[in-house]
Amino acid sequence: QVQLVESGGGLVQAGGSLRLSCAASGSIVSINAMGWYRQAPEKQRELVARITRDGSTNYADSVKGRFTISRDNARNTMYLQMNSLKPEDTAVYYCNADIRSRGLAPYPYWGQGTQVTVSS
């Protein structure tokens, strides 16, 4: 069984910073691409940033230059450093990872989400 657990969300003023973490645990053979998604009230879930196993990244245009995604393969952990936060960044942030477990094909797992609220 595989679990993804996010942490680091909270309430911050506009212009502030937060760092999200996503830790994968369980019967893991390898983790391929990982990503952060977010969903604001009454909006669809959207990709924020994604990182491959070898460190290649891509970002949503709305967060380029402000957010940085990274990962620690030895710890099966991914991070999202969020700077210069804006009220429109307010959303539930979800971790996603393409994980191969023993004897199984790769499968996209999701975390439970962590709330980020940016006040103006």
Report the distance separating Cα 63 and Cα 10, nearest Å. Answer: 18
pLDDT score at 103: 84
pLDDT score at 43: 96
Mean pLDDT across the stretch 91-115? 95
pLDDT, tens digit, for every residue of 37-91? Answer: 999 999 999 999 999 999 999 999 999 999 999 999 999 999 999 999 999 999 9
Report the distance separating Cα 11 and Cα 80, nearest Å. Answer: 16
pLDDT score at 81: 98
- 87: three-class secondary structure by DSSP: helix
Report the distance separating Cα 100 and Cα 70, nearest Å. Answer: 20
Q: What is the overall mean pLDDT for the chain?
A: 97
pLDDT, tens digit, for every residue of 14-30? Answer: 999 999 999 999 999 99
